Structure 1
Amino acid sequence: MPSNLPPDRRKSAVTLAYLATDTAPRVVAKGYGNVAQSIIELAKKNNVPVHESAELVSLLMQVDLDQKIPPQLYTAVAELLAWIYSLEAAQEN
């Protein structure tokens, strides 16, 4: 997509990190356009699951880098984590 589009119309990507010691997942990378494409390519190259949800990404783009997600997003992100865990379990079998 052309870079002159408003941010909400351009390709976007967000990377979350969630460690057992964290109280909530954190936004560790995010970007639009070429940065988003690089985030996605790097994730795929490293076998990190990539999930497409424009609505969730739009909400996560509002979270500052290295900040925990807000409680309002816990349910949506928990569903995403459950999906990732199910993928990992399927790969082990």
Structure 2
Amino acid sequence: MAEQREDKGAAWRRAVALRYRQGQDRAPVVVASGRGWLAEKIIALARESNIPVYDHQPLAEILQSLNPGEEIPVELYEAVAAVYAFILDVDSRLKQK
């Protein structure tokens, strides 16, 4: 039986938590990932901790192939850097208010 995404709703939601510690990490590292209810839990925990959430499901799908503790591959540097740049820009604007 073929699965239909539009009927699954939140069950198809994906979330990947990344960490980057400047001076310690060579590249961003996957710290958690999940789909469905686990993705919702990761997102809720991030929001409760005031960690920015950026919704890009195609990128999350690719990042989900990595294991926790694994650095993102060079091929994803540009895409992840764009996410970090967006988050830093939003954070900067919020601090100015």
Same fold at TM > 0.5 = yes
Question: Would you say the 8 A contact 2:13–2:57 is kept in 1?
Answer: no
- The aligned counterpart of 1:50 is 53
**Structure 1 segments of 4+ aligned residues over 2 angstroms from their partners:** none
Q: How many residues align structurally?
A: 88
Q: For the residues of structure 2 that align with 1:5 and 1:33, how far apart are their CA atoms? A: 14
Q: 1:88 aligns with which of 83, 88, 91?
A: 91
1: distance between equivalents of 2:17 and 2:94?
A: 21
Q: Where in structure 2 are there 5+ consecutive unaligned residues? A: 6-10
User: How do residues 1-93 of structure 1 correspond to structure 2 at under 5 angstroms?
Assistant: 10-20=12-22, 21-93=24-96
TM-score (norm 2): 0.84
Which protein shows a greater Rg?
Answer: 2
Q: TM-score, normalised by structure 1?
A: 0.87
Q: Among all aligned residue pairs of Structure 1 and Structure 2, give the percentage whose two residues are the same amino acid.
A: 35
